Chains A and B, each alone.
Chain A
Amino acid sequence: MRKTPLFLLLLLSAAFFPAVLFAQSIPITGRVLAPNGSGIPGASIFIRKGALGTVTNEEGKFRLTVPANATVTISSLGFLSQTIKVSGDQPEYTIKLEEDVARLDEVVITGLSTTVKRRNLANTVATISSTQLNGIAPAQTLDGALEGKISGAYINANTGAPGGGTTVKLRGVTSVYGNTQPLYVLDGVFIDNTATSAGLNAVSGADNVSGATSNQDNPSSRIADINPADIENIEILKGASAAAIYGSKAANGVVIITTKRGRPGNTKIAVSQDLGFIKARKLLGVRPFNAQRAASLSSDSLRGVALGQQFLAAQSAGKIYDYEKEVFGHTGFTRNTLLSLSGGNERTTFYFSAGQKDEGGIVQHTGYRNSSLRFNIDHRINDNIKIGVSSNFINSSADRGLTGNDNVGASLGIALAFTPSFTELHPDAFGNYPNNPFANSNPLQTVALMRNNEAVNRWINGLFLEATLQKSDKSLTRFIGKGGIDFYSLETNAQFPSNLQFQASSKGTSIQGSTRNFNTNYILSMVNTYNASEKLSLTTSAGITQETGDYNNVLDVATQVIAGQSNVNQAGALSATQFRSKFQNSGLFAQEEVAIWDAVTATAGIRFDRSSNNGDAGKYYAYPKAGLSWNLTRSGIMGNGFFTNLKIRAAYGQANNVPAYGSKFTSLAVSNISGSPGSLIDIQEGKSDIRSERQTEFEAGFDVSILKGRLSLEATYYEKNINNFLMQNNLPSSSGFTSQWVNAGNLRNRGVELGVNARPVATKAITWNTSVNFWLNRSLVTRLDIPSIPQGSFGYVLGSFQIQQGKSATQIVGLSPTGIVKWGDAEPKFQLNSFNDITLYNKLSLRFLIHWKAGGQNINLTSLQNDFGGTSVDYDKVTNKLGVPDGVYRLMQIGSSAQEFVQNSGYAKLREIGLYYTFSQLPLHAIKSLKFGVSLNNYVTITKYKSYDPEVSNFGTGFSTGVDVDPYPSTKRAVFHLSLEF
């Protein structure tokens, strides 16, 4: 069934070809030049919007057959486009393009198959260029490379562990327990970003009700697989007003990733090599002990005396250690190699890349390796049909260590918190590690013996076909089909040999997970552009979409493992779990775009969607969108004097977020005894009439640019309402159930985004490009039908999230002497970033990214753990009103106030800074350019937050971000770059 529409369309399009009309044509040639006189390669030459044209070659030259008296448009990214009138007696043209400083002519995706120039756009669509993404101080993974770069987004690294793991929220929290992460579309392929747990909960017991897996298992994001070096640009549709046409998965926004393509001309070979190192951003330090402090670790006087003596003995033997440094103070080396080839001719172009990076971690035996191959080919079969293929194979492997919350004292941070500096944990002459008498594990032994690996093989393949079905003077009809598959297998392998201290009763644990995920999607659309007159043009598009997913995870937990073995059958006990999910979403869409004088653009579209995850899988839900932009300078209302461009705009749209898989069933879990299979009712009650949550977004704003575009401002206000948001209602547990997914209430986000782009200095010697973005978001729960309870953390005593009508959705509440009060909010007061690129003589480039997150709170339990263990660096300081040691004082707050644990996590970071020098005139002619660079990533952070990094989330990517329980410490990177182009 699924394949029929594509087949049908191909048949139809074939039927059309004979009907295609060719007017009387003349050949023209020309050259497209930049303001400095050099040819612009890859500029597009076309007759009108949407029609197939051609592109310029290496020297900026082109050749095209056009109807006589046609109007030809020349455009290239970064330049203002120009139109010329072709006359029969002039066969050759030279076109000089002006630089588009305010990016007015940048083409932005607005539909599933249609685009519009930024100057006519009704939404704010953030764009990240490849330089911004990967050209300042490259991050380890793609998710890390987005941090601090998207206006309107809250992007937070969950952990410093190799392989990434990041929370991305666009324009506020859009769901409570539904998916909050945006949809990622890579060259038309909807790619999967499921975080799959490696089953560490079976060892850590971090969440001792959820079995082998929990949201505290610190998995990586699958988006991390994509090599940032292959990316040409990223566009972000932040909410429903822009993203509605993407349907069921777009409620949290869409991140559209476009990879590099080849250009006609000589084959370009580029090789780059990075070398660098990774260190912990910050270590907390350890408590300076003395005999009396050592003695106070035990309340038992005899034991206290013994501890005091132990300290003195260790001190005189010179055996006082900084275990935090021994565990987290390792320097990881990094290397990253990329080879790319691109080129082609006017009909076929290609881009090929092969890359490998290998990076160590700040904990020994942790690290990240990623190898990827990409092949992008574009081919014009004839003047009417163009196809494209993007193929990407990725092999990645992340060794992530054992960190974060746990309930057995096995995690590195928890063990360190309880280990004083005067105990001996180093191995003896035979390599045997002593048991840690202060905690349930010896962290040095844990680092040396345990492994936690995630290995991925992934194949993402995208296809693209565009065919002109009909062409006349006024009308142009195209078929555009795109889609692809995303397949990966993920093997998780966590090994805990039996000689580990905390394996005393399990006698060795081997946890092996195997996940296969297969996603497909296609978008088949017809686009008709109708130029009714010079002043009016209509673009109509309609089509069908479908997305499917099939996820299968098998997790084996073996305990009592035979010494030295890792296979799960080499064990005394084995338990297995399997989780499968499947979905199919189908949609129909239609969109109409009206452009009047190329100045007023009105867009209206609708999408009908159904999903197998909905209570009623057959029912279609409608999601409309509309937008209007009015360019005042273009329409002649404002003279072209002071303002280069002035536009007002407004947009509206709806999108939905499907319920979590399985939320409509009341199922029975397996619960066996003595070899008899047992069924025990699940604690989650099914809701047969569960519906998608619906998001409605309205945004309005204006864009101004002055001084020939050298200074521009974008201002946007938005309001986003999420109706019937999905939430797990906590049922009275006497019902036998503790939770149920329900459509629980309404939620609103309002926010402001301001962006300034400027080129303050533009001389022959120096150019300075800068952009400053400011954004803030406020959420409010406007309706809640279910009782409000603390959730997403450890309860009121230590600070907790709580959805309450009339309150911010991300508020943090907790105990106070006067009852339960609000102590904070995960939402920052505002965020601000600034990109800067200062270039001297086109050779030396200094680029940096500053990110300021003002306010916002975390629940910081890392320092609390250190207080519990009596090992905090500031335990003995006395700054409190009671005059007792601060550590004691903080512990006394437990049970009476949560204020101590809800801490401001604001920061100002110099996230990335890089200095690059390019040699373009080289004695060796074979080498076209040679570039050197050095960069620092995450080197400067100004914050008052008392843990490893204010950017942390122990509970993963969901609603309750910002809980800090002994994470893998955040890292900083220093890298040397060398790249050559042939």
Chain B
Amino acid sequence: MKRIILYTGMGLVLIANLTGCKKDYGNLNSPTVESFLANASASQLNNLVSGTESGMRNSLALYLDDVSTLGREGYHFSAAEPRYVTDLLGANDAVLSNSNFYITRPWASRYQVVKNCNLLAAAATRSTLITAAQKSGYIGFARTIKAYQLLLNLNLTDTNGIRIDVVNPDQLGGFVSYNDALTAIMAILDSAKTDFAGADIAFQLSNGFAGFNDAAGLLKLNRALAARVAVYSQQWATALTDLSVSFFNLNGDLSLGVSHVFSAGSGDQLNTVFIPQNQFGEVRAVHPSYTTDILAGDDRIAKATLRNAPVSQSGLTGYRDLWVYTSSTAPIPIIRNEELILLYAEAKIQATQYPDAIVALNRIRTAHNLPAYSGAVTKDALLAEMLYERRYSLFYEGHRWVDLRRYNLLGQLPIDRSGDDVWSAFPLPVSEQP
């Protein structure tokens, strides 16, 4: 009898426990992808837009260090991180590794934004809470930014290619070659251009997009990026057409354009390319060739300020500090008029319309306290002049290494230590290897 009571008791307890409410706490810390795909509201979509804009800055300083070190624009001396001056410069036997931070992080950060753009486009497409015109605005923005992010990764891996189709993480598209990637990026920009026609921009962008935050402005940004892609693809006529509908302005402000902005606000980021002058330990030193190659009187020497004392690491010495970004809230350009003028000059040179090209080059030269161009009016001489201007005008904005590679001129880069190498492309990150 007692046993029966006992077992009944145990049974009751068991049942009480089994039928007890099962606990699934959900995600207590952040929204989930599912919540965005289930009929997103305008404010949810706007959060994705801001997240996208914000995310573009992730690993951006590292990207600039990568291309600027390989292009011998400067050195990042770091007491704790020797690989900036070993691997990136090919010291001794060091090579670029496919598992090291200098490729894995910027690569992943760009694709993270691409993923966010894809999510934004998918969420906008599914949302029933916004108008069709607003939908086009979100999608056009997502596509434009996606194309730009893909281009930056292509700049790193060059002939090793990139993936374009990354919508489904379980079934990623294959790697496409450099030329095919440029074509695909151009196609994405073109489809965004279509989106912007008649679009209603229902979202807010940061001050970095000031003047470009409506449909017309975003279209101009889109075409400016398209012009860069066209020049990279050597589609000179296309480049000129795209420039004409971009914000290209031969006589306009050179700094006019779109940029990444920084602030100390909560959840925001600071510009980490900025390091105060005359530091030790963490230093971005300008490559000595910047000073030796610059023309007398060129005011762009101000981008490299003389240090009180030189700084050395691993057999390299810097005498000047990088002074392009002069505070931790200084913006970093995405694309600006000075580059557009030089893209215009390049396309004109390649189209053998030299006088137009010289006008553009002189616009840059006079702006920087240099006399008008007086060199030979030949394609080679003008291209050399254009590359000089690009080197100094777009210093530490991520161009020189890419430009020299486009013209097969990487061999011109100085070798600082015997055994150093000039790399032409980053390997694909180890996670992408088949």
Contact = CB atoms under 8 A, between A and B. Distances in A.
Interface of A: 1-2, 4-5, 8-9, 12, 15-16, 19, 208-209, 297-300, 302-303, 405-409, 414-415, 417-418, 435-441, 469-470, 475, 477, 502, 504-505, 524, 526, 528, 542-544, 546, 559-560, 572-576, 578-584, 586, 588, 610, 612, 617-618, 662, 665-683, 685-686, 730-738, 787, 789-790, 795-797, 865, 868-869, 892, 894-896
A724 to B, nearest CB: 19
Given A588-B17, A735-B172, A789-B431, A672 B317 contact: no
Interface in B46-80: 46-55, 57-59, 78-80
B169 interface: yes
A734 B111 contact: yes
B309 A303 contact: yes
Contacts of B99: 789-790, 795-796
Given A735-B111, A735-B166, A894-B94, A584 B261 contact: no
A544 B29 contact: no
A188 B24 CA distance: 26
6 contacts: A408-B281, A408-B282, A678-B54, A735-B115, A865-B80, A895-B86
A816 B433 CA distance: 21
Shortest 9 CB-CB distances between A and B: which pairs? A736-B115, A440-B281, A573-B264, A678-B50, A678-B51, A733-B108, A895-B94, A672-B267, A409-B281
Interface residues of B, number: 107
A674 B101 CA distance: 28
Contacts of B111: 733-736
A572, A669, A869 — most chain B CB neighbours (10 Å):
A669
Contact of A1 (B20, B81, B206, B316): B20
Contacts of A731: 169, 431
B263 interface: yes
Interface stretch (B7-15, B246-254, B335-343, B407-415): B7-15
Interface of B: 2-3, 5-6, 9-10, 12-14, 16-18, 20-25, 27-34, 36, 44, 46-55, 57-59, 78-83, 86-87, 91-95, 97, 99-101, 104-105, 107-108, 111-116, 118-119, 162-163, 166, 169, 172, 204, 206-208, 261, 263-269, 274-276, 279-282, 309-310, 312, 314-317, 328, 429-433
Contacts of A734: 107, 111, 114, 162-163, 166, 172, 432
B97 A300 contact: no
The listed residue with most B CB atoms (<10 A of its CB), out of A297, A409, A672, is: A672
A868 B82 CA distance: 8
B55 to A, nearest CB: 4
Given A298-B317, A666-B32, A667-B27, 18 more contacts: A8-B12, A12-B5, A408-B80, A439-B280, A440-B79, A526-B10, A544-B14, A560-B264, A579-B29, A618-B22, A662-B27, A665-B32, A668-B32, A673-B268, A677-B267, A686-B32, A734-B111, A735-B115
A19 B2 contact: yes
Contact of B431 (A502, A572, A680, A730): A730
Given A502-B281, A737-B115, A542 B10 contact: yes
Contact of B267 (A670, A685, A795): A670
Contacts of A559: 264
B36 A668 contact: yes
Given A298-B312, A680-B51, A669 B30 contact: yes
B399 to A, nearest CB: 24
B112 to A, nearest CB: 5
A301 B23 CA distance: 69
B317 A440 contact: no
Given A504-B276, A671-B55, A676-B46, A580 B2 contact: no
Given A576-B266, A895-B86, A668 B33 contact: yes
Contacts of A733: 104, 107-108, 111-112, 429, 431-432
A500 to B, nearest CB: 12
Given A414-B80, A584-B23, A679 B264 contact: no
B51 A671 contact: yes
Contacts of A572: 264
Given A12-B9, A681-B115, A737-B115, A673 B50 contact: yes
B266 A575 contact: yes
B371 to A, nearest CB: 34
Given A671-B55, A895-B92, A16 B5 contact: yes
Contacts of A544: 13-14, 17
Contacts of B95: 895
A218 to B, nearest CB: 16
A586 B20 contact: yes
Contacts of B328: 505
A682 B80 CA distance: 27
Given A299-B317, A732-B172, A667 B274 contact: no
B6 A528 contact: yes
Contacts of B108: 683, 733, 738
Contacts of A436: 280-281
Nearest to B25: A582
A673 B275 CA distance: 21
Contacts of B97: 795-797
B30 A667 contact: yes
**Which of B2, B53, B113 gathers most chain A CB within 10 Å?**
B2
Nearest to A580: B28
A299 B315 contact: yes
A532 to B, nearest CB: 14
A667 B71 CA distance: 37
Nearest to B61: A208
Contacts of A680: 51-52, 54-55, 112-113, 116
A787 B99 CA distance: 14
Nearest to A577: B267
A300 B311 CA distance: 9
A927 B279 CA distance: 66
Contacts of B91: 895
Contacts of B52: 678, 680
A467 to B, nearest CB: 12
A560 B264 CA distance: 9
Contacts of A666: 32-34
Contact of B31 (A477, A668, A730, A737): A668
Contacts of B23: 582, 584, 612, 617
Contact of A667 (B17, B33, B49, B104): B33
B149 to A, nearest CB: 10
A436 B279 CA distance: 9
A895 B89 CA distance: 12
